[in-house]
Amino acid sequence: GVQEHLARVAGNAYVAMATQHFVNAMLNQHEQPAVLSAATKLKLTGAMREVVNDGMDVLGGAGICQGPANFLGAAYTSVPIAITVEGANTLTRSLIVFGQGLNRSHPHVLDIVKSVHAGDDLDGFRAHTLKLVAHAATNAARSAALGVARRRGRGSGSAADVIAYHESQLNRLAANFALLSDATLAMGGKLKFAEFISGRMADVFCNLYMGYATLWFASKQGNVPGAHKVVDFALSRLLVESQEAMDGVLRNMPVPLVGTLTAQLIFPLGRTPYAPPTDELTREVAQLLASPGPVRELFKESVFLSSDEQDRMTMLDRALPLCVRADEVLKSLRRERRQATAQEQALIDEAEALRDVIVQVDSFERLGREIDMPASWTASDRPAYDALAGDGVSGTA
């Protein structure tokens, strides 16, 4: 149960970190990626919501007891702000990412529109329309070919094989997306109002963008031991989501036969080539996140840790390696059936003391306006006690 939450946190966090670095690299090159910026905000705030929800499931009751010790409660209450401010995610997904991006990024659509607006540019209209048809035919052939010739397995499971596998799948899905984009043009002006279809197309586009960003980031990080497991987990989820989104577009295409014919070119061997991460991979990723090591250090690069040793996040970071070592000592003692040495006992005591502090939640003697009451005030002065009949507190029965 907890491992599922931890694995999703790791996968989402890695993709978010990769996308952040990818966008920053573009900005450093003085690019102005307007649609990609919208896609980044849309998907990363959505991933943040899933991460926070998973974190709350792991924390349990400690996540709802507000106070200095609750390091996740404030993030949980602020999630709706990120989702709705600076471009509501529903609007961005349904109208902006694909609706505006298609006209701007397609190599021929904007030229056709310009020729129509010119009013008398019939030759230009014909030329650009023929280019559009040729482009669609090329996309159809490439989509079908990559659907058959895509890489089928991860080889030995090494980092290089995992990266090669997912690069092959993303190339295939990019070709599928290009063909499906051409197919949606058959809807004409209705596409502008088909928000279900536009939203699904936006999902595929965003997943492709974040998938390539993840591969780019993994190559920049070099050989971080275990990181390819997180990459495999995260990209496997993106592949499944993209597959389901494209299937939804094809099944709901309003133009007769277009969806059916396009599906044969996108899924020539069936509609379900991808599967979610296996239980084994999920366990491995969760263990990487819950154990000291290079993967955790990679994630910590984007985490603020206070210099105050009483800060709960700082305590958690310090406690993990300490408690892991203490648990290893306890296992060794049980296995060898002996007493702990003085050094071992000191380690165990330090870990237990720190663990005992961390599992505590905040409690307060006074709440709300009670904080400003005189020093003589006690809990028995609360108005709620007046409702207790016959207990001698209020003086009434």
Element (H, E) at 336: helix 312-336
Q: 175-213 as b/e, with b when 16 or more CB fall inside 10 Å?
A: bbbbbbbbbbbbbeeebeebbebbbbbbbbbbbbbbbbb
Instruction: Give dist(CA 202, CA 193) in Å, integer.
Output: 14
Which residues have CB under 8 Å from 239's CB, separation 6+?
Answer: 166, 169, 173, 207, 211, 274
Total number of residues shown for the chain: 397
SS (H, E, C) 211-276: HHHHHHHHHHHCCCCCHHHHHHHHHHHHHHHHHHHHHHHHHCCCCCCHHHHHHHHHCCCCCCCCCC
Instruction: Count Cβ atoms below 10 Å from residue 219 Cβ, excluding itself.
Output: 9
Instruction: Give dist(CA 391, CA 47) in Å, integer.
Output: 53
Contact 22, 215 (CB under 8 A): no
What is the 8-class DSSP label of residue 339? Answer: P
Choose, from 4, 31, 50, 86, the residue flagged as catalytic: 86
Reply yes or no on whether 86 is catalytic. yes
The DSSP annotation for 128-139 comes to HHHHHHHHHHHH
Instruction: Give dist(CA 36, CA 4) in Å, integer.
Output: 29
Contact 294, 159 (CB under 8 A): no
Placement of tokens 């609360």 in the chain: 382
Among candidate residues 259, 254, 273, the one with its CA nearest the CA of residue 173:
273
Give the catalytic positions in this structure.
86
